[in-house]
Amino acid sequence: MTNLSIINQMLKISKEEIYYLVEKITEIVDNENYTIMEFCGTHTHEISRYGIRSLLPKGLSLKSGPGCPVCVTAEEDIDYIIEITQKYDLGVITFGDIVKVPGSKGSLSYLKAKGKEVWVVYNPLESIEIASSNPSKNYILIGIGFETTVPTLAYTIKKIIEKNLKNLFYFSLHKLTPPAMKALLDSGEVKLDGIIGPGHVSTIVGVKGWQEVLKYYNIPFVIMGFEPEDIILGIYVLMQKIKNKESGVFNAYGRSVSFEGNIRAQKLVNEIFYVSDSNWRGFGIIPQSGLEIREDYSYLDAKKKFILDEPIKVRKTGCKCGDVLRGVIEPYQCPLFAKVCVPNNPKGPCMVSSEGSCAAYYMYERNRYLNEVGGYL
Ligand code: SF4
């Protein structure tokens, strides 16, 4: 039985088996140094939460990647939303942490504190009720998320179209992850030996969705689930691939990820959105890495409906999220980490988001880095 088939059958493994796998990983690493990256913010949080880094040998370094949709939202986009909300007196509907993300001129929570209508919803369909109940006001629904979230938002847009609502518009901040993976590998800023592939994005795009990008690079990419045992087993498989100099896409999350992915969800997304270039925090414009509303439904597109007279000029802040997202620095190497930037007073999205790596390091691991930050924490 191959390692991958073992992983795909096992949901739970014993503590002894975990230690056995850690030993095997340690043997592979030996006295060498390896760097692997977890692309996805959920992996970063689970790795920190379960103390997985502390189980691994010193020579194996885990870096966080750009896989947090809130974190990679460009400051320009936050500033733009704040400006149009004020200029056109819009109500804002969104979900998750985006409300707390600082742009260069404040955040949506700041607008809310100033009396603007800002709704945080758990289900985007709630936006229809909100807009219907106040037809004299215009609302924007901010759609954020990677491939995993987009199908739900595409479904919401279909419902908005069916209801023929005239006062609810859509602001797409959606991003596609394989082009960002390509941009990261092309930049060569960080030398990576292997990549931990995101499990939930891969459930939608399938193994196939990564193969096109990864075929140009001599690196193994192992798709993993999010249970601690998934991660340990997945890292073991990844280290074996590195040791055997195998490259390509490998699926260690077969109970959720198929080769083709979720074809129904892919069709729904293609019906509503087209692929466009997109601005990523820390990366700039990445070609073909975003989604915008198709021309047929452009009357719903907030970016076309609410225009600013002047282009956005972003003010510089001290936040190093861009470097964190590219794996160039670790969160604790940002001079603001845990000093002026903490979860209840975040200076950047990586400390705001539940998937942000600064938040993960702060919540679960900051004491491990006590010496490295001069004993301040
Ligand atoms: Fe940005 Fe705060 Fe992280 Fe520094 S610690 S990179 S300021 S989010």
Q: What is the whole-number distance in angstroms between the Cα of residue 357 and the centre of ligand 1?
A: 9
Q: How confident is the model at residue 104 (pLDDT cuts 50, 70, 90)?
A: confident
Q: Which of 281, 334, 369 to mutate to test the pocket of ligand 1 (most atoms within 8 A of CB)?
A: 334
Q: pTM, whole model, 2 decimals?
A: 0.92
* All domains of the chain in start order, with CATH: 4-63+178-251 (3.40.50.11750), 75-176+261-305 (3.40.50.11740), 321-370 (no CATH)
Average pLDDT, the chain: 92
Q: In ligand 1, which atom is closest to the CA atom of 358?
A: 3
Q: What is the whole-number distance in angstroms between the Cα of residue 58 and the centre of ligand 1?
A: 25
Q: How confident is the model at residue 371 (pLDDT cuts 50, 70, 90)?
A: low
Residue holding tokens 């592979």? 28
Quick check: 308 and 87 in contact, CB under 8 A?
yes
Q: How confident is the model at residue 370 (pLDDT cuts 50, 70, 90)?
A: low
Question: Comparing C-alpha atoms, which of 346, 275, 328 is closest to residue 71?
Answer: 346
Question: Comparing C-alpha atoms, which of 97, 117, 86 is closest to residue 306?
Answer: 86
Give the closest residue (by CA) to ligand 1 atom 5: 337
SS3 label, residue 47? helix
Average pLDDT over residues 123-136: 97
For 137, other C-beta atoms within 10 Å of its C-beta total 13
Q: What is the whole-number distance in angstroms between the Cα of residue 281 and the centre of ligand 1?
A: 13
Rounded Cα–Cα distance for residues 32 and 281 (Å)? 33
Residue 316 corresponds to which tokens in the numbers above?
């510089």
Q: Is 361 in the pocket of ligand 1 (CB under 6 A)?
A: no
* pLDDT tens digits, one per residue of 274-308: 999 999 999 999 999 999 999 999 999 999 999 99
Q: Is the pLDDT of residue 245 over 70?
A: yes
Q: Is 10 in the pocket of ligand 1 (CB under 6 A)?
A: no
Q: Which of 321, 326, 376 to mutate to test the pocket of ligand 1 (most atoms within 8 A of CB)?
A: 321
Q: How confident is the model at residue 106 (pLDDT cuts 50, 70, 90)?
A: confident
Phi, psi of 306 (to 5 degrees): -115, 105
The whole-angstrom distance between residue 181's C-alpha and the CA centroid of its chain comes to 12
Quick check: 288 and 276 in contact, CB under 8 A?
yes
Q: Is 336 in the pocket of ligand 1 (CB under 6 A)?
A: yes
CA dihedral 209, 210, 212, 218 (to 10 degrees): -170
Q: In ligand 1, which atom is closest to the CA atom of 349?
A: 8
DSSP assignments along 287-355, one per residue: EEEEEEE-GGGGGGBHHHHS--SS---PPP-S--HHHHHTTSS-GGGSTTBTTTBBTTB-SSHHHHSTT
Give the closest residue (by CA) to ligand 1 atom 7: 319
* pLDDT tens digits, one per residue of 139-177: 999 999 999 999 999 999 999 999 999 999 999 999 999
* pLDDT tens digits, one per residue of 190-208: 999 999 999 999 999 999 9
Please state, for a pLDDT cut of 90, what percent of the chain lies above it. 82
* pLDDT tens digits, one per residue of 1-50: 444 554 445 556 788 888 999 999 999 999 999 999 999 999 999 999 99
Q: How confident is the model at residue 327 (pLDDT cuts 50, 70, 90)?
A: very high
pLDDT of 373: 56
Q: Is the pLDDT of residue 261 over 90?
A: yes
pLDDT of 2: 45
**Partners of 159 in beta bridges:** none
Please state, for a pLDDT cut of 70, what percent of the chain lies above it. 94
* pLDDT tens digits, one per residue of 199-243: 999 999 999 999 999 999 999 999 999 999 999 999 999 999 999
